[in-house]
Chain A
Amino acid sequence: MLLNLWQLLSEPFEFAFMVKALAVGILVGVVCAVLSCFITLKGWSLMGDAVSHAVLPGVVLAYLVGAPFGIGAFTFGLASVLLIGWVSARTPLRADAIIGIVFTAFFGVGLILVSKLPSLGEWTAANFGYTPPLLDVRSILFGNVLGISNGDIVQTVIAGGITLAIILLFRRDLLLFCFDPNHARAIGLNTGLLHYTLLALLALSTVAALQTIGIVLVVAMLVTPGAIAYMLTDRFGRMLALAVSASVISCIIGIYASYYLKASTGGCIVLAQALLFLLVLVVAPRRGLIARAWSTQRRNAASGAGQRPSVA
């Protein structure tokens, strides 16, 4: 029995593509988990969703001209948030509506480009002598880490590495910015810079996670680990550690599941994360369902025995 389990765990490692997938998956998991703590505390889940969708036209254009997809993605991701900021300063509309309008506009343009790829490819071939390779749209949208190329790995590592470095170095200022931007401004910090740094990090992490999990599900990586950790602790340091652990565990489980079930890798990773959250929701000490039901029961028993329940 134990031998079977060992075989189950080790078999994928015979394949180079699996080793690469696991390594990349873990890196992406770590990067997104760290960022996710800030994003969830700042209430930017929708922003994460928006930035990740807005990169599509950038990726397509990058492919057409032969540039690294990361550059196209980052440019358009940043452009979308700048546009969101610009519109929200000038209209009375609520933030969530503006974000929705802008990212769907970008994504719509992206879909137009995707649908015209063959003819656009011919156009660049005729005019610039450059024939873009075949673009697998599904891997952009839904990830394809099992088939990731070495060139893409390089971009992922660079984007992920920069993100991690910036976040960890400036984590105190970023945390202050998430907690109390007014105080940050009062003591002379450049809150505009912090705002756009965090957004740029969102765009970068999308670039990093693109190949692993795809555009549509990136927001899960940027939201769920933070949520899991938030259910378990009151201290930010521990929150970071827990988020990273949760993310790495789900990435590993997800990749394994995808290998054995022959199912979408991105889907498996995200579902694993969601199930982990559900588990934590139920069993978390103090904040989980079981813990709260138990303490309610104890309180009822205490008052039933004639003692006054103490004021919390």
Chain B
Amino acid sequence: MNETETAILVDRITVDYNGVVALHDAELRVPRGAICALVGMNGAGKSTLFKAIMGFLKPAGGRVLIEGQSVAQAQRKGRLAYMPQAEEVDWAFPVSVQDVVLMGRYGFMNILRTPRAIDKTKVTESLERVGMSDFRTRQIGELSGGQRKRAFLARALAQDARIMLLDEPFTGIDAKTEGAIVTLLRELRDDGYTIVICTHDLASLASFCDEVALINRTVLAYGPLETTFTPDNIARAYGGIFNHLVFDAGAGQAIPRQALAARARGTQPAADQLGGR
């Protein structure tokens, strides 16, 4: 894989918080136009890696390259979009949905942030794409869980950033919204977007993710789903195999059976087929 095909390169980074090493010698390559899942237990360094890629913290050693540039350069050009976890957002903040989506455009506006016609157009388009046009003037606290995710997804879209990092995008939302978001992510990926998802949901990620990275204090393994999401790697990340993942050892590949079937069908497995959700 050459430089231009790599959207995100994590080159042996080490991160420590006040003396505690959260991540050491972590290495990751995410190709352009792929959906990559970061998985691992809480406290194992997943969100640390996420933050290092976003540039929210500086690694003590190693470097992160976004499309061949440093994170700071990528930030200045607005190449990275970020969707926060629901817990991190102050839903009582007095801003409306369109206020939030407009915030995605601030990097393009002048110092006083006066919106131009193109900014307003982008906001409207993004809202339409996620189906939130009717809610644009609502204060964000008035939205349901699924609508909240979609509002922040619209912000990421409005930013015109080709690399999107989503923090726990599927936690606490209804199945319909989840389906809608997955469909949208697939469309974006087909358009050439690179999407990184931080997630706990092992059972469903196999149905729409192309790449996965397993994290436990370092990146234990990363790469295409088929070769990386193996029982061995999962065991190393989680200390064992979960009850709700059943592996089809008979086939040459070892991925969860439901996901294998879903891929063959070209659909996402139904909620009741995925145990443990």
Which chain A residues have a beta carbon within 8 Å of chain B's beta carbons?
A: 41, 90-92, 169-170, 172-173, 175-176, 178-180, 182-189, 230, 233-236, 239
Known: A170-B112, A239-B94. 5 other contacts (CB 8 A): A41-B94, A176-B103, A182-B56, A183-B84, A230-B94
28 contacts between A and B (CB under 8 A): A41-B93, A90-B18, A91-B18, A169-B112, A173-B106, A173-B113, A176-B103, A176-B106, A179-B93, A179-B103, A180-B84, A182-B56, A182-B82, A182-B84, A182-B88, A183-B104, A183-B155, A185-B54, A186-B55, A186-B78, A186-B80, A186-B82, A187-B78, A187-B159, A233-B94, A235-B94, A236-B95, A239-B94
Q: How far is the CA of A60 from the CA of B167 in the complex (A)?
A: 50
Give the interface SS of chain A, mostly helix, strand, loop or mixed.
Answer: helix
Contact A179–B78 (Cβ < 8 Å) = no
B36 interface hit (Cβ, 8 Å): no
The 10 A-B pairs at the shortest CB distance, nearest first, are namely A187-B107, A172-B113, A188-B76, A234-B139, A186-B82, A188-B75, A236-B94, A188-B107, A187-B78, A234-B94
Taking the nearest CB of chain A, how far is it from the CB of B40, in angstroms? 20
Q: Contacts of B93 on A, CB cut-off 8 Å?
A: 41, 178-179
B90 interface hit (Cβ, 8 Å): yes
B116 interface hit (Cβ, 8 Å): no
Q: Contacts of B56 on A, CB cut-off 8 Å?
A: 182, 185
B129 interface hit (Cβ, 8 Å): no
B77 interface hit (Cβ, 8 Å): yes
Within 8 A of A (CB), among B88-102: 88-90, 93-96, 99
Taking the nearest CB of chain B, how far is it from the CB of A90, in angstroms? 8
Picked from B77, B103, B141, the residue with its CB within 8 Å of the CB of A183 is: B103
Q: Contacts of B212 on A, CB cut-off 8 Å?
A: none
Q: Contacts of A185 on B, CB cut-off 8 Å?
A: 54-56, 75
Contact B54–A182 (Cβ < 8 Å) = yes
Q: Which residue of A lies closest to B112 (CB)?
A: A169
B81 interface hit (Cβ, 8 Å): yes
Taking the nearest CB of chain B, how far is it from the CB of A168, in angstroms? 10
Q: Contacts of B139 on A, CB cut-off 8 Å?
A: 234-235
Contact A187–B75 (Cβ < 8 Å) = yes
Contact A188–B94 (Cβ < 8 Å) = no
